[in-house]
Each structure stands twice: as structure tokens, then as C-alpha cells.
Amino acid sequence: MSTMHSGIRVSGPQAYREKMFNLVGDRSPLEILAQTASTLGDIIGRHSATLLRRRPFEGKWTPNEVIGHLTDSEWVYGYRLRLILSEDDPTILGTQQDRWVAALRHNEREPSELVEIFRTIRQFNLAVWRRTLPQDLKRIAQHNERGPESLGTILRLLAGHDLSHLAQITRYIEAIQQHPQS
């Protein structure tokens, strides 16, 4: 069985984890998370809202929708972080990310607004991540699609998720620039 996660086709939960972990490598997940808002700010500073709202491939998100997805994900991961820190063995739910992007109409939003919302939520969440104790990273939640995940695993997944989507935005912008009339 193959599913799509973060724009990457994977054969199962472990394959998804491995892909995200490989993106992070030996880098600090917290450092990656601390840089994402600035990277998004650089992207929207170099490209017009018109370009960011263009669909590079039929059936795929626009760069602006990817930014909206990152904003949604930051909210979701912040909730999961707090839930796991505050409750014993909670259940965490996956999301219908395509439905969220469509229902929240991210492509109609200003890229700068989405990035500012992302930046604010990320700063709030980073403050909690930085205060998290090493023993807290061992706390477990039950993901309804991927099974048991520790907070430490979730931290690395989130960092990989950021890197995956930043690379996706770059690929999409390049595709749009190569085919300006599409």
C-alpha cells in the first residue's frame, strides 16, 4: 500500500519516518525549525504573490498552498506537543491535509499573511520545544495512522516535514518559472 505524505510517496509509516529523518540527517531539529520562518520570508520576498498562487502541476498544490499547509501543520504539531506533554499516552489524529488546504482557501490568502501567521505560531511552539526536558522527549502518543510515536520522534518528523516542503516550494517555483505561460 502506497500513500502520499508531504508530497513524498511512501509505502508505509516507517518509510515516511525514514524519509523525514534522512532529510534532517545529523542536524539539530530545533535549529531547522528556528530557520524555517526566515526561509519562507526569503521566498515570499523574492517572488510575487501571483507567481506563488500559480499551480505548477495539475492536481498539485501551489507554492502558496504549501505555505498554508505548513501554517496548518504548525498549529497541529503545537497542539500535539502540548497534548503529549500534558497527558499520558494520548491519541493524536492525522489530518486530511488536502481538504484543509481547499477548505481554508489558502491560495486566496496573501503569502505574507500566511508566513507571518506561521512565524508567530512557530515562535510560540519553539518556546515550548526549547523548554522540553530530555525525559519528556521519550513521552509517547498513539498516532492513529502511524502508531506509537515519541515526542523526540515527532520533533524530528516536524523538522523533516519543514525541509520536505521547503524543497517542494523551490521545485514548484522553478517549474512555474520554466513554463511562465502555463
Alpha carbon distance 71, 110 (integer Å): 13
pLDDT score recorded for residue 182: 53
pLDDT score recorded for residue 2: 39
Confidence of residue 11 (pLDDT cuts 50, 70, 90): low
Query: Which range is least confidently modeled, 61-70, 104-113, 121-130, 142-151?
Result: 142-151
* Region at 133 (left for phi over 0; alpha for psi -120 to 50; beta for the rest): beta
pLDDT score recorded for residue 7: 47
The average pLDDT across 136-151 equals 95
pTM (two decimals): 0.91
pLDDT score recorded for residue 9: 45
Give the tens place of pLDDT for each residue, 61-78. 999 999 999 999 999 999
Look-up: residue for cell 491519541?
A: 91
The average pLDDT across 102-114 equals 97
Report in angstroms the alpha-carbon separations of 173 from 39, 48, 92, 128, 180: 14, 11, 33, 33, 10
The average pLDDT across 86-105 equals 96
Q: Domain ranges in the chain?
A: 14-178
Secondary structure of residue 144 in the 3-state scheme: coil
Class level of CATH domain 14-178: mainly alpha
